[in-house]
Chains A and B, each alone.
Chain A
């Protein structure tokens, strides 16, 4: 539990208790919009269905029904089967679970890193700030796709599909913190000379405590917005890597690996577009539920 001051008031150093999770998941979010509610419902339904598929007996994302390949949608296979006879719907739901949960986890890790690094730069200023600002510029200017390709190639060959997938998201989190860190840095710099911070310091509050108890809660709107913005970014990044064959290894499905089927647009059946539709819908939903639509961040 962290204690946070009520922001804004002159000398308002009375701490309020805020859980770490609520930093990212709670308010502020625009309330009352019908579209936002709809987006939330869609995401909840998607996530619930993707979690529930594991409870359906016989639902396997890897089993090849070799006598029922490239089948059209039917009662047994509502989205048909792929070229190897695997149930498209089951694979799509497993992919939804993997892509959404791992993207959210990677986004949380990124925001934590961004707060740590951006916070240090913004709070301490001086040489530390200049050094971190240079690193931020460097991170933002490098072509990370090539690093991801290289690191992916360096993974141990016997890494299981799960390991390779986690490594992929970990890499994305490890390189994705620069943009939110820059925003955090700017935010912390604003708060550094605010009266409540000066007062906390004057009362002998240690620097770490000032950063965590007094500044972090005030940055919550920024961090929340960055978190919700990062999730679709990571979903898209994984989709890109998966499309290039550099995400999870077979037979593990992710939205990106399912998209590979679209590489031959002339051979497609309508149901092959289901992963693309799922990505588009979820990105739109994330956009809608992001505070300020993600546009003011």
Chain B
């Protein structure tokens, strides 16, 4: 009898445990600040993007793991008329989070609103191939065709960012098609997202997703506090970790951290080549010299940067596209090797002479310049100090200047009062057309010499030509070939000296299940509708 009770108790406990593991629960993590908007079509900041990603239902989604496009609210799609028209066949019988039925009318409403110039939507920018609005034809309750005035390369992937709104719901933007909806917002404190009871996805067992009941997004600017709270078990995940924090967490509980490999983030150095800037002419001459830039690049020990600053959680960078971007990266390019001798030889070839007290140019100017970076960023400050020692070996004196971020941006974009700059770049979009604002010589974000009326150098003219050509090309292989050439030119000329590609580092509570860390944003919670929280694991 006693044995029977024991077995029953064990069975009951097992069942209870199993049930708990499957139950919803609450997921908690931090946002750095309040979202600037809950309107999914007006998102411009990371915090709003997080809310949009979790609440917004999209027609097509880029799978963050495979980087392939997968159908969501649309069950199929077709691009034709040389990339001008896209036709979606929608899933039927779906509803918004308030129960309002979802139809092609809602897609038409969303696209019309998105393309309204008065909305000033950043999400709409990649769709704006001309001033003419797109033609939208709802041919059935579940079919819609959208025709743009001119071809748009990679058109279908752009819909990953477009969260569908309801035309008829009285709740307007609060009615969503994503796995969760915003149920509570306390400014400066937290946002509570509740499970969408009408979410359309079912798992393999026919159970309606998502599994979690709630997500609590807590506003926490201080990253140290975020870490403390994670260690106390008050948070379930950290989407992005510094390498040293990662290492420390890994020592304490290796199962709680994850390195998903190369991310789309890189760190780079560039020289100011703006002809009207106030820097001395002889320095502008150095900075315009390909040999000088290549020499600086070769004098930098990227392996040491990876080892000391990133604790091994990064890789030396070869160029503008990270290996995380599986399709578009030009794999024939390798990072410039660390070679101080070769660097010195290049400098001698370019007319510089090395003396006991440093390097001098032809006119007898000591080679010395300053690099600006943002104050408070410990990683960049360390990189800058390491560059100081590396460049000292080839006789270059580097002064490191840290500035508050607004001052830095003002110098970079308006006054151009800087000599070199050390900053990072994050590509949110895998498609190269998203980088037109950087690579076209006429672009404002062409940082080393922005807003050029005509390209200042033949290689910049060639990049302009290739970028425009790839944007107008619809054959993927040909686009890839053209963009590979852009990467090759950038690798040779080094207007940006790419230093490292960071890895994507994150932390998960041991209670979380089904996490699938990815290299591209949102790395930790891109499959949030599949994530579960178990209460079987005792609090840490």
Instruction: State in angstroms the CA–CA spacing of A246 and B402 once bound together.
Output: 8
Give the segment of A40-48, A71-79, A260-268 that binds chain B.
A260-268
B224 A250 Cβ-Cβ under 8 A: no
Residue in A245, A260, A264 whose beta carbon sits within 8 Å of that of B245 in the complex: A264
User: Assuming A62-B389, A83-B382, A250-B384, is B399 touching A160 (CB within 8 A)?
Assistant: yes
| Cα-based distance from A267 to B227 in the complex (angstroms) | 11
Say whether B245 contacts A159, CB under 8 Å.
no
Interface pair A157/B401, CB less than 8 Å apart: yes
Let me know if A66 and B245 touch, CB within 8 A. Answer: no
Partner-binding segment picked from B365-373, B494-502, B512-520: B365-373
Q: Which residues in window 360-388 of B have CB below 8 A to A? A: 368-370, 372, 375-376, 378, 381-382, 384-386, 388
Partner of A158, one of B224, B368, B382, B386: B368
Docked CA distance A265–B227 (Å) = 11
Number of chain A interface residues as a range: 20 to 34
A154-169 CB contact bits vs B (8 Å, 1 = yes)?
A: 0001111100000000
Are A153 and B403 in contact, CB atoms less than 8 angstroms apart? yes
B389–A157 touching, CB < 8 Å: no
Interface status of B228 (Cβ within 8 A of chain A): yes
> Residue B173 at the A interface, CB < 8 A?
no
Chain B hits for A160, CB < 8 A: 399
Q: Which residues of A contact B265 (CB under 8 A)?
A: none
Cβ-defined contact, A264 with B244, below 8 A: yes
CB distance from A150 to the nearest CB of B (A): 9
Task: Give A52-74 as 1s and 0s: 1 = Cβ < 8 Å from B's Cβ atoms.
Answer: 00000000001110100100000
Given contacts A157-B370, A251-B388, contact A266 B401 (CB under 8 A): no
Residue of B nearest to A164 (CB): B401
A85 and B307 alpha carbons, distance in the complex (Å): 12
Q: Contacts A245-B376, A267-B244 hold; do A157 and B417 have CB atoms under 8 A apart?
A: yes
Q: Is the CB of A149 within 8 A of B228?
A: no
Q: Residue B419 at the A interface, CB < 8 A?
A: yes
Judging by beta carbons under 8 Å apart, are B404 and A149 in contact? yes
The proximity string for B residues 386-417 relative to A, scoring 1 for CB distances below 8 Å and 0 otherwise, is: 10110000000001111110010000000001
Residue of B nearest to A150 (CB): B407
Tell me the complex Cα distance, A159–B372, Å.
12
Once A84-B386, A250-B385, A251-B385 are accepted as A-B contacts, the answer to whether A267 and B248 lie under 8 Å apart by CB is yes
Q: What residues of A have a CB within 8 angstroms of the CB of B402 in the complex? A: 245-246, 249
Chain B min CB distance to A72 (Å): 15
Q: Chain B interface: which size bin? A: 20 to 34
Q: Is the CB of A84 within 8 A of B382?
A: yes
- Taking each of A149, A250, A265, which has the highest tally of chain B beta carbons within 10 Å of its own beta carbon? A250
User: Is B375 touching A158 in the complex (CB atoms < 8 A)?
Assistant: no
Q: How far is the CB of B381 from chain A (nearest CB, A)?
A: 7
State whether A158 touches B389 (Cβ < 8 A).
no
A85–B382 alpha-carbon span in the complex (Å): 11
Residues of B within 8 A of A263 (CB): 224, 378
Q: Contact between B304 and A66 (Cβ–Cβ < 8 Å)? A: yes
**Residues of chain A from 266 to 290 with CB closer than 8 A to chain B in the complex:** 266-267
Contacts of B403 in A (CB 8 A): 153
Please measure, in the bound complex, the distance between the C-alpha atom of A67 and the C-alpha atom of B506, giving whole angstroms. Answer: 27
CA distance A153 to B375 in the complex (A): 11
| Closest Cβ–Cβ distance, residue B236 to chain A (whole Å) | 19
Q: Are A245 and B375 in contact (CB under 8 A)?
A: yes
> Given A157-B399, A250-B400, A267-B248, does the pair A83, B308 have CB atoms closer than 8 Å?
yes
Give the contacts of B4-46 with A (CB-CB under 8 A). none
- Asked whether, in the complex, the Cβ of A153 is within 8 Å of the Cβ of B404, the reply is yes
**Which B residues touch A265, using CB under 8 A?**
224
Q: Contacts A84-B308, A266-B227 known; list 15 others, CB within 8 Å.
A: A62-B389, A64-B386, A64-B389, A66-B304, A69-B308, A83-B244, A84-B385, A84-B386, A153-B404, A158-B370, A159-B399, A249-B399, A264-B224, A264-B245, A266-B224
Residue contacts A-B, CB under 8 angstroms, 21 given: A62-B388, A63-B389, A66-B304, A83-B244, A84-B308, A84-B385, A149-B404, A157-B417, A157-B418, A157-B419, A158-B419, A159-B399, A159-B401, A245-B375, A245-B376, A246-B375, A249-B400, A250-B385, A260-B378, A266-B228, A266-B248
4 tightest Cβ-Cβ pairs between the two chains A and B: A245-B375, A157-B370, A153-B407, A250-B385
